[in-house]
Amino acid sequence: MPKQTSSPAPSIPVLLADDANWSTLAAALAAPARAFAEANGFQPKPGRLLMLPGSNGGIGSVLFGTGNDAGLRDVPFLTGKLATDLPAGRYRLEGTLASPDLAYLGFLLGGYRFTRYKTAEPRGVVLDPPAGARAADVEAIAAAVMAGRDLINTPANDLTTTDLAAAVHALAKKHGVVAKEIIGDDLLKANFPLIHAVGRASAFPPRIIDFRWGDLEAPKVTLVGKGVVFDTGGLNLKPDASMLLMKKDMGGAAAALTAANILMSLKARINLRVIIPIVENSVAGAAFRPGDIYPSRKGITVEIGNTDAEGRLILADALALADEDKPEYLFDFATLTGAARVALGPDLPPFFTEDDTLATDIARTGLTVSDPVWRLPLWKPYQAMLDSKSAEMNNVGSGGFAGSITAALFLRRFVTEARHHIHFDIYGWVPSAKPGRPEGGDPQAARLVAALLLEKMGQD
């Protein structure tokens, strides 16, 4: 007998219905389906879903409203709703898409859940990659972002400084390279005095991890990420509400690792270096104190005005190390200030660079890949707010004004050799779910930086 070849069941079409195409789309439906849509009062409002019956009583097709956003030009991640709201099954999108890649990515990212401590029934919703999508690349990007989300969502009891370091080693290993790590008191010998000072009170020692990957002849790109696994504020202890979410204070590290993961998976033609300073900002007898003065790797002395401004301290030493290599591009990512949220809210991280052309490229790429950011100025006159009576700089600005800008100006002092330095002050967290962005950790700006670099290398 010849072998039976069973072709897989065809996927269920998801029909993109917008304000302009809806009447034509409705007219083309089979009469019972059209009657069903009418009886249900379907309107193509953004995100509206209606399952239409097929001839066998199953789901024949799905109407998916996109409002006036034909082709999902403005809200490409609206497809994230499909992952959470459709019944189990295999689907395909039907209609014109502004970006098949982003429509697919939104769907994949919308399906993310943090399941380490609470298992969830698999939803069983699968989407055929839309025509024109670079499926393998998009899937690699989604996997990298989800790994970043997992890191941020993992609480500090299970993501100690040792655990975050292990995650960096694992990422390096996955891409065939080995990371170097300097731990605890060795940080003093290796001249990372600020990382040591911030992290020395924790039961889990501070450290800095560093790996390189890629083409030695290609442009040098260095990514640095703030890896504070928990931020109590130190002796300037945070009040309860402000401390509650501080497991996410390694969101910058997660973003740097996510960007690196994407760049390595997509084989970017760059000479990549990743540097992650990792500490827990704890309260203990050995804690650094307000009023302490420390040298830094760069040589600049720093007076501690507030132990809760710890991120900029560990970044100062990490950026100084990065700068010694004279990279073409030096990016840093950090959940650095509450002031950034006051200025721009949780969804729009500020970024800082002196290069106007590059700033335009960054803002544009952020919009293009739905990873938006907004430029704030490195306003030189505010540098004076960081003056200290006894040291070369204070770690906090006097007066409490322009917190995100003064933090950026602080970091800027530790970079003198890199051709471009770009700092992202991210929130690292989605406070309430949006399509493709479930509530929880979010490695903001990672996809944008990866896309920007791939574009610059002519690989987009």
CB of 285 to ligand BES, least distance (A): 21
Q: Report the DSSP pairing between strands 207-214 and 271-281.
A: antiparallel
Q: Are the beta carbons of 349 and 373 closer than 8 angstroms?
A: yes
For 119, the 3-state DSSP assignment is: coil
Among 280, 310, 317, 371, binds ligand BES (CB under 6 A): 310
Q: How far is the first Cα of the chain from the last one, in angstroms, to the nearest whole number?
A: 50
Among 33, 83, 167, 309, binds ligand BES (CB under 6 A): 309
Q: Which is nearer to Mn ion, 221 or 411 (CB)?
A: 411
Enumerate the β-bridge partners of residue 336. Answer: none
Residue 339 binds ligand BES, judged by CB under 6 A: yes
Half-sphere exposure of 264 (CA within 13 A, CB side): 24
CB of 241 to Mn ion, least distance (A): 14
In order of 197, 202, 282, the CA distances from 286 in angstroms are: 9, 8, 9
Residue 207 annotated among the catalytic residues of the structure = no
Q: Mention every residue, 6+ apart, whose C-beta is less than 8 A from residue 370.
A: 76, 77, 102, 106, 436, 447
CB of 254 to Mn ion, least distance (A): 17
Query: How many binding residues for ligand BES (CB under 6 A)?
Result: 16
DSSP string computed for 314-335? HHHHHHHHHHHT--SEEEEEE-
Residue 249 binds Zn ion, judged by CB under 5 A: yes
Distance of CA 411 to the CA centre of its chain: 20
- What are the percentages of helix, strand and coil residues in the chain, rounded to 5? 40, 20, 40
Q: Which is nearer to Zn ion, 34 or 238 (CB)?
A: 238
Residue 189 annotated among the catalytic residues of the structure = no
Applying CB under 6 A, which part among 82-90, 319-327, 331-339, 436-444 lies near ligand BES?
331-339
Among 396, 408, 411, 449, binds ligand BES (CB under 6 A): 396
Handedness of CA 310, 316, 322, 327 (dihedral sign): positive
Residue 338 binds ligand BES, judged by CB under 6 A: yes
Q: From CA 212, how far away is CA 164, in angstroms rounded?
A: 18
What is the footprint of ligand BES within residues 237-296 (CB under 6 A)? 249
The single residue of 238, 269, 375, 434 carrying the catalytic annotation is 238
Q: Which is nearer to Zn ion, 264 or 276 (CB)?
A: 276
Q: Which is nearer to ligand BES, 141 or 255 (CB)?
A: 255
CB of 279 to Mn ion, least distance (A): 11
Among 225, 403, 435, 436, binds ligand BES (CB under 6 A): 403
Per-position x/- string for 282-321, each x denoting binding to Zn ion as judged by CB under 5 A, each - no binding: -----------------------------x----------
Applying CB under 6 A, which part among 138-146, 330-338, 385-393, 447-455 lies near ligand BES?
330-338
Q: Enter the tokens of residue 347.
A: 């969804």
* CA nearest neighbour of 398 among 458, 300, 309: 309
Interface ranges with Mn ion (CB under 5 A): 231, 308, 310
Q: Are the beta carbons of 196 and 188 closer than 8 angstroms?
A: yes
Residue 206 binds ligand BES, judged by CB under 6 A: no
232 contact, one of ligand BES, Mn ion, Zn ion, none, CB 5-8 Å limit per kind? none
60 contact, one of ligand BES, Mn ion, Zn ion, none, CB 5-8 Å limit per kind? none
Q: From CA 37, how far away is CA 31, in angstroms rounded?
A: 10
Residue 444 binds ligand BES, judged by CB under 6 A: no
Q: Are the beta carbons of 64 and 94 closer than 8 angstroms?
A: no
Containing 395, the helix (H) or strand (E) segment is none
Q: Where along the sequence are the contacts to ligand BES (CB under 6 A)?
A: 231, 249, 306, 308-311, 335-339, 341, 396, 403, 427
Positions marked catalytic = 238, 312
